[in-house]
Amino acid sequence: MPMTMSRARVARRIATAAAFGGSGVGLLGVAAVGVLLTEVRLARRTVGGSSDIPPCADGRYGAAFGHRTDRPPLRLGFLGDSTAAGQGVHRSAQTPGALLASGLAALSELPVDFRNVALPGAQSDDLERQVQLMLAADAAVPDVCVIMIGANDVTHRMPPAQSVRHLSEAVRRLRAAGCEVVVGTCPDLGTIEPVYQPLRWVARRLSRQLAAAQTIGVIESGGRTVSLGDLLGPEFEARPRELFGPDNYHPSAEGYATAAMAVLPTLCASLGLWPEEEQPEPARGEGLLPVAQAAAEAASEGGTEVTASRRAPWALLKHRRRRQLPDTETAGPSSVTP
């Protein structure tokens, strides 16, 4: 609890700095950040990374549902970095966007038109460009957008307040356009193999600090968040050969499926397709908390949703039960954008 409260205070200061144009504060000093950068460079040489272009998964999913209803297709947009783009896998059906589009189609029983503007290597300052693409005059505004961003902000030393400011502005612009927004917060960089101490400890702390601050910014801008940090922690740490891809940096197909299963309930809830009457269960650590505390709690446990409450400035912390994803081979896409 003391660590959670400390993270909550730091996250609130970062979010406040983001709102008022400050540089923000961090848990770690300049010397520690210098260690992180040195170790990241060494780790990159060992890990390698991937220069492959992610497979394009744009298109319509669940097209068969269109023959059963007169309702228009749902529109799902994806923004962010290489994780959002699906880097590390070679088939479009294995990307997180395709997995979520298929899941959304199956649970809504409606076709889903999917569009991804995420860019591998992107930092949060690229979100302005991505939002412009998503809201272009010749494009239909999505019903819901998923954003996955943050890892490159940590490794490239973007000030956390600046990172949160860019993300919050992107969420506000999408919400103003009538789009629901779900953000998968910064993953736990301490799970990357082979990454050793002190990088593992420093990267984990910086990742969770940013994830908590992102959550505050997103909630106060009208979006919802799902923590990917710890989700890509114990499970990835215990089974790295299964959940990391060939480059040992990006998730494998199974790793993306694990993350998508955690995001799907929140994605559906944002569109009213998930039973909101489901009450918080205190025994599972759910409940109403001050926003900063909810953000800090979520950063420590993957798959945790944080959404705004009518009792502002409190937020609702939930651990929605995951649903098995449908087979993307049968759900779509029926067409793919070249």
Can you read off the two tokens belonging to residue 275?
A: 């039973």
Residue 328 Cα distances to 91, 104, 106, 244, angstroms? 11, 11, 10, 20
Residue 87 Cα distances to 80, 145, 228, 246, 264, angstroms? 12, 19, 16, 11, 20
Query: Which of 82, 124, 168, 252 is an active site residue?
Result: 82
Query: Which of 250, 270, 300, 319 is an active site residue?
Result: 250
Closest CA to 15 of 224, 153, 214, 207: 214
92, 99 contact by CB (below 8 A): no
Angle at 68 between CA 63 and CA 69, to 5 degrees: 95
Query: Which of 52, 125, 247, 309 is an active site residue?
Result: 247
207, 187 contact by CB (below 8 A): yes
Closest CA to 251 of 74, 14, 42, 84: 84
Catalytic (active site) residue 58? no
Buried b / exposed e over 48-79, threshold 16 CB at 10 Å, is ebbebebbbbbbbbbbebbeeeeeebbbbbbb
| CA atoms of 322 and 84, how far apart (whole Å) | 19
Centre a 10 Å sphere on the Cβ of residue 315 and count the other Cβ atoms it contains. Answer: 29
Give the β-pairing of 144-148 and 74-80. parallel
State CA 211 to chain mean position distance. Answer: 9
Residue 4 Cα distances to 35, 275, 277, 286, 305, angstroms? 24, 29, 28, 15, 16
Catalytic (active site) residue 250? yes
Measured over the CA atoms of residue 107, residue 307, residue 23 and residue 192, the dihedral's sign is negative
Can you read off the two tokens belonging to residue 317?
A: 């912390």
- The catalytic residues are 82, 247, 250
